[in-house]
Structure 1
C-alpha cells in the first residue's frame, strides 16, 4: 500500500525542525499537506503518495483560487512544493509532480474598508469596565490607528526605557507612539491619537492586577501573552457582537491605508509607516475603496468650474 501523506507529513516536519526552521514555518508548510489530504478524502480518494500527482494538485489549486485570496493560494502552493521536493530528495518520489506547475494567479479582490458606522458599533461592543473590555478596545483602536499586522500587535511590550529615560521598546503614551518589531525584525515607529492613548492607559491600569502582569507582553489573556490566533479570535468575536461578519485584523490595515490616502497622505509615507519594502503591497492595500478616493480627488479638483 502506498505511504500515507499524514505519516510522511510527520517525517517532513522532523526534517524541517532539524534544518532549524521556525515553528511557524513548519506549521504553515504542514497546513498545505493537511489541507490537500483533506481535499483528497472529500473527493472520495485516499490521502496517499499515489494521489500526490500533477492532475490532482492542479485541480486542488484551482479550487483554492476560486475561494481564497491570492496570497493564501501561493502559500499553499509553496508548502506543497517544498514537501514534494523533500519527497524526491528522500527517494519517496522519482520526480517532483509540481516541477513545471505554476501557482494559479487569481485576481486580487479589494478588501472592503470599515465604515464609520461599523467602527462605532465595534467600539460600543468593547464599551465596558472589565479587563477584557479594556484590553479589546485598546486592541481595536491600535489596529485602526496604526494599521498593525496581527504579529506586530502581539509583539508589543509594556514601555521599556534606557538608563537615560528614553523609550527603547513598547508603547509611549505621552508621545502617542509605539516601537514596532515588523517583518525581518525591523523596528519602526507608529503613531496613534488621543483616544487610542486613553484606551491603552485604561487598559494598562487594569493590567496592573492581572496574574501575568510581570510579563513584558503588552496584551495578556488568562493563559499569558496574547497570541496571534488569540488576537484574531478577539477581533472576530467583537466583530460578531457589532454585526460585522467575519471581521479579521487585516481589514483594519486596509481601512487604515484607505483613510491615510483619503486624507491626502503621501504613498511614500504610507509605505514607511506600514513597514513595506515593496510597492506591490502599496498597490494591493491601496486597492481597497480606490474608486472612492479617485472620485473625491476629482471632485476636489473641479477643473471645469475654474473656466
Structure 2
C-alpha cells in the first residue's frame, strides 16, 4: 500500500492551493500517518483509494480509547479533508468518513493563569544563566502582547517599533498586524538584547531573529513548551499550561479590566469575533462580581 505518494500530493495541495501554513499541514498529515500506523500494526494492507468505511470506523474506535473527544473530532475532520481531496482528484468515488459522526465536544475553555500565577512563573526563572534573561523576555512578550508561540519564535528585531509602542506580528496566513507593547515588556526585551544576544555567535540567516538558542539559531516551538512546562512544575502549578495559556490569560485579563472584544480581536489577530468570544471566557466569580458591582438590583 503506497500512501506516501497520495500524502505528498495532498500536502502540495494544502500548501499551494489552500495556502495553509507549514504547522497546519503537519497537523493534517499527522492524522493520516496515525491511520497508516494503525493499518500497519493490524497488518491491513490497503491503499487510500480502496479503504472502506468499516476499516476507518475500526481506527476511530481504537483512537477513541486513547484521546479525548476534542482530539477525536480533530482526527475525523483531518481525515475527512484528506479523502475529500482524493474524491476531488478522482482517485475515489466516495469519502469513507462521510457517515462517521464527529463526537460532541462542547466549548473547551483553556486554563487561565491569574496575574499572581504569571508573576510566580516568571519569578521562578533562573536568571544566573544567559537562557534565564532570554526566557524572562520571552514569557513577558507572550503575556504582554498575547502572541501565538509561532509568532514569538519568528519575531524579528526589525519588527520592534518601541518608540511608537508597537510590534509588527506576522500571524496565520502571513497576515500582519500591529500589537501594542508596554514599557514593562520592552524593558526585558532590551535587557536580553543588551546583555545576552549582543554577545552571541549568530548562525547565518538568523541575524534578524530576536530570540535565539545557544547555537544562534531560531528557537523551536517545542522548546518554548518545555520551558513553560518546567517552570510550572518548579512552582507546583497544577494546571495544564502551555504558551497558549499566556495568550489566553492576556485576553482574559484585558476583558476583565474593561477592554472591548473588538480591540482584543484586533490584538489577537482573529478573523472572526466569534473566535475571540470563545477565547476570552469570563469565569463565574468574575461575572458575579460584575453583577454585584453594576446591577441596580444587587
Interval of TM-score (by shorter of Structure 1 and Structure 2):
0.7 to 0.9
Structure 2 Cα separation of the partners of residues 142 and 82 of structure 1 = 35
In 2, are the aligned partners of 1:113 and 1:254 still within 8 Å (CA)? yes
Counterpart for residue 165 of structure 1: none
Q: Residue 242 and residue 175 in structure 1: after superposition, are their counterparts in 2 closer, same or farther (change >3 A)?
A: farther
In 1, are the aligned partners of 2:261 and 2:277 still within 8 Å (CA)? no
Q: Any idea what SS the aligned residue of 2:185 has?
A: helix
Unaligned runs of at least 5 residues, structure 1 = 161-169
Structure 1 Cα separation of the partners of residues 227 and 7 of structure 2 = 30
Structure 2 Cα separation of the partners of residues 47 and 199 of structure 1 = 55
| TM-score, L = length of structure 1 | 0.79
Structure 2 Cα separation of the partners of residues 106 and 152 of structure 1 = 28
Match of 1:202 among 184, 191, 209: 191
| Larger mean Cα displacement after TM superposition, 23-32 or 261-270 | 23-32
Q: Residue 123 and residue 55 in structure 1: after superposition, are their counterparts in 2 closer, same or farther (change >3 A)?
A: same
In 1, are the aligned partners of 2:228 and 2:243 still within 8 Å (CA)? yes
Q: Any idea what SS the aligned residue of 1:98 has?
A: coil
Counterpart for residue 167 of structure 1: none
Q: Residue 76 and residue 12 in structure 1: after superposition, are their counterparts in 2 closer, same or farther (change >3 A)?
A: same
Mapped pair 1:113 → 2:112: yes
| Larger mean Cα displacement after TM superposition, 224-233 or 49-58 | 49-58
Q: Residue 26 and residue 123 in structure 1: after superposition, are their counterparts in 2 closer, same or farther (change >3 A)?
A: closer
Structure 1 Cα separation of the partners of residues 141 and 65 of structure 2 = 32
Deviation at 1:186, TM superposition (A): 1.9
> Which digits, 9 at most, give the CA deviation of each residue in 1:193-246, with x for residues without a partner?
332222111111110111117621111113411122332232223333333354
| TM-score, L = length of structure 2 | 0.82
RMSD between aligned residues: 3.0
Structure 2 Cα separation of the partners of residues 20 and 39 of structure 1 = 24
Structure 1 Cα separation of the partners of residues 218 and 283 of structure 2 = 37
In 2, are the aligned partners of 1:154 and 1:219 still within 8 Å (CA)? yes
Deviation at 1:46, TM superposition (A): 3.2
> Which digits, 9 at most, give the CA deviation of each residue in 1:97-130, with x for residues without a partner?
1133343331122112112342122112224042
Counterpart for residue 103 of structure 2: 104
Alignment of 1:174-185 (within 5 A): 174-185=163-174
Match of 2:265 among 262, 271, 280: 271
Deviation at 1:152, TM superposition (A): 1.3
Unaligned runs of at least 5 residues, structure 2 = 16-20
Q: Residue 267 and residue 83 in structure 1: after superposition, are their counterparts in 2 closer, same or farther (change >3 A)?
A: closer
- Give the number of aligned pairs: 285
Structure 2 Cα separation of the partners of residues 39 and 300 of structure 1 = 56
Q: Residue 107 and residue 303 in structure 1: after superposition, are their counterparts in 2 closer, same or farther (change >3 A)?
A: same
Alignment of 1:1-307 (within 5 A): 3=1, 7-8=2-3, 10-16=4-10, 18-19=12-13, 21=15, 23-38=22-37, 45-46=42-43, 48-49=45-46, 52-58=51-57, 60-61=59-60, 64=64, 67-68=67-68, 70=70, 72-87=71-86, 95-158=94-157, 160=158, 170-205=159-194, 206-212=196-202, 215-223=207-215, 224-244=217-237, 245-287=239-281, 289-304=282-297
Counterpart for residue 163 of structure 1: none
